[in-house]
Structure 1
């Protein structure tokens, strides 16, 4: 199963790279597929690529939905 998750942009590194926070972990993210992303914005990330910019409320809803999923042992 593939999963895209929300992350908050912490730092921009050039025009197409950023550092994002995902569950307390900093990850490198490519911004090649989205436009007008700034520090503090939320994006949906899949395999290291930001797929879409979303607002904070949508990010919170997505994180809440993910927390509701049963954990697999």
Structure 2
């Protein structure tokens, strides 16, 4: 099942390649999200996010209802996934094993 989680935008910027990005707060966890599908949003807006992409803007009431329902269904586990674009967060720290070493083909 594919779920979109509501988050409140706390920052909007463009990355080094000009892609519209932002950071959204998901119940205390802040993650980077791509805003290219929702260019009309501003800081303080709520967006529904799936796999790092903001898919649509929602109002605060809808965001609260959706977040509460997902919380009750215990469907907020994807928020524990490390933010690989955050240089201060080790994406392998919660995995319990080192990353696979990549070697060039012979």
Q: TM-score, normalised by structure 1?
A: 0.87
Note if contact 2:20-2:35 (Cα within 8 Å) is conserved in structure 1. yes
| Aligned counterparts of 2:51 and 2:59: Cα–Cα separation in 1 | 20
Greater RCO, CA 8 A, separation 6+ = 1
Structure 2 unmatched runs, 5+ = 76-106
In 1, the alpha carbon distance for the partners of 2:22 and 2:46 equals 12
> Residue 9 in 1 paired to residue 13 in 2?
no
Rg: which structure is higher?
A: 2
Answer yes or no: is 1:28 the counterpart of 2:35: no
| Structure holding more strand per residue | 1
* Aligned equivalents of 1:40, 1:6: Cα separation in 2: 12
SS state at 1:66 partner? helix
| Whole-angstrom distance in 2 between the partners of 1:26 and 1:67 | 17
Q: TM-score if structure 2 supplies the norm length?
A: 0.61
What is the Cα deviation at residue 65 of structure 1? 1.1
Unpaired runs of at least 5, structure 1: none
Q: What is the aligned residue count?
A: 71
